[in-house]
Amino acid sequence: MLSFNPSEVRIPNSHFIGGIAVDGGTGIDVKRPSDNQSYASVPNATPDLVDQAVENAYRAFKESGWADLSPRDRAKAMKRWANLIENDVNTLAQLESVGSTRPISAAVNWDVPFCAEGIRFYAEYADKCGGEVIPTQSDHLGMTITEPLGVVGAIAPWNFPLVMASWKVAPAIAAGNAVVLKPSEMTPFSVVRLAELAVEAGIPSGIFNVIQGDGLVGDTLARHPMISKVTFTGSTHTGALVMTACAQSGTKPVTLELGGKSPQLVFDDIKDIDKVARRIAGAITTNSGQVCVAGSRLLVQSGVAEQLIERISSVFEEQIAQSTWQDQATLSPIISAKEVDRIDSVVRKTVEEGANLYTGGCPLETADSSAFYKPTILTDVDMSMGVVRNEIFGPVLCVETFETDDDALSLASHPSYGLSAGVHTADLNRAMRMVKSLDAGTVWVNRYGRSWDFAIPTGGFKSSGIGKDLGRQAYEANRRVKSVLIDFSE
């Protein structure tokens, strides 16, 4: 049994600076999404405390020897860290689950192991990427060498606290940098335990600091003169503010993984409609659609539309809405009661605009609260409606039908987003045409969603982001390139 009592979980409600817990700042009330109950408070850092965290990280970068350590030795420490994370799965999973939208079964079986494996993956990258020798005249030597940036500021979202933190922290630390991480004030605690385990693994104190607080703390972090780069995952609007802060205080490079409104194109040549229906349903019900790559726009060829929508609706009915600390839960709560109201308002407005509510369309009452939203299907929609244009961040699937491949591509095109897309077809030629034509940073064919392929980068086009998380690209983005030309003719 994975179920647990949420009141028995020890909450590390502090900053983590220089290898120790640090108090300071006015408390922010933190609620459990599953029942909307306050269960802890987290300190909202002052500018002086942000400065302390960054300066401590900078001293660690300069004085601890981490940046100068042989890459294999950095890798060894990070592998120890990954092993400690796996061994601490019960503690980490309960911390992750109690205050976030992640059911305990998902946290145990996916979030914590995925976090550990991502750290292990980047540990192996520590000695795999470097400079190169450049052709030049025979009595010269041209080359590039790479160096760590210094202190990387990381701002992580609330929807997958541990996983998103690992995406940012692991490549930066493997590349020899120090990191100051600001988690979301709504899900602030599991990453403190992650940082404690880093020190236990032998990563020097100060190389991984955690500073708690709201958006103003994130802005202060991004603007700090000792921060050499900022990596952020969140909304497109906030990403633009982060980019502005970095431009006004540096300038500093940024990696931004932002919003999406991702289409899933289903053609009438699919072989197993039940399998596709489960795939489509999973792409919008995982974490209750609170995923930047959620497959929220279903574009289906008219010949199979009615049957597919019916099957998806049936899969929706199988979802079990329970508190995240109950091991039978499969449908995540919405992060807050305010967000439940916002999602419901969007759905009701869309129906008023002429859309057809096929299923769902209301909050879902449970024994604890109404912090859940019933998986919803809206048909008869188009791009003029906000529900199709805008990221909803809830379990709301918009359905449009098409006749030809060109129609599908036209519907798939979004005026601002280009994060991801899915293609479901038995025709390889068609699949490749779609892959080439879709304006998205990631295209999945006959599957949907990320896997354990850490070597494949992720990141969007247009307003969906700049740069890449995961892959070699994420590691290289945490190193700077120095060009060297040596004249040995004398």
Cα separation of 462 and 301, whole Å?
27
CA distance 140 to 490: 10
- DSSP 8-state assignment for residue 104: H
Please tell me which residue in 55, 185, 196, 257 is annotated as part of the active site: 257
Q: Which residues contact 269 (CB under 8 A, 6 or more apart)?
A: 425, 426, 427, 430
Cα gap 390→413, rounded to integer Å: 13
**Secondary structure (3-state) at 369:** coil
Whether 292 is catalytic: yes
- Of the candidates 166, 175, 159, 210, the one whose C-alpha atom is nearest the C-alpha of residue 394 is 159
The secondary structure of 31-98 as a DSSP string is EETTTTEEEEEEEE--HHHHHHHHHHHHHHHHHSSTTTS-HHHHHHHHHHHHHHHHHTHHHHHHHHHH
| Annotation says 257 is catalytic | yes
The distance of Cα 370 from the centroid of its chain, to the nearest Å, equals 26
* Sequence-separated (6 or more) residues with CB below 8 Å from residue 164: 156, 157, 233
Cβ-based neighbours of 156, under 8 Å, separated by 6 or more: 164, 165, 168, 181, 182, 183, 184, 191, 233
Handedness of CA 244, 246, 252, 255 (dihedral sign): negative
Q: Which two tokens stand for residue 47?
A: 């500018």
Using the 8-state DSSP alphabet, how is residue 423 labeled?
Answer: E
Q: CB neighbours (10 Å) of residue 209?
A: 26
Q: Which of 398, 363, 392, 393 is nearest to 380 (CA)?
A: 398
Q: Which residues contact 423 (CB under 8 A, 6 or more apart)?
A: 264, 265, 431, 434, 435, 438, 443, 444, 445, 446
Measured over the CA atoms of residue 462, residue 282, residue 169 and residue 226, the dihedral's sign is: positive
What is the dihedral sign for C-alpha 409, 411, 415, 419? negative
Q: Which of 246, 292, 339, 391 is catalytic?
A: 292
- Give the three-class secondary structure for 115: helix
Catalytic residue positions, numbered: 257, 292
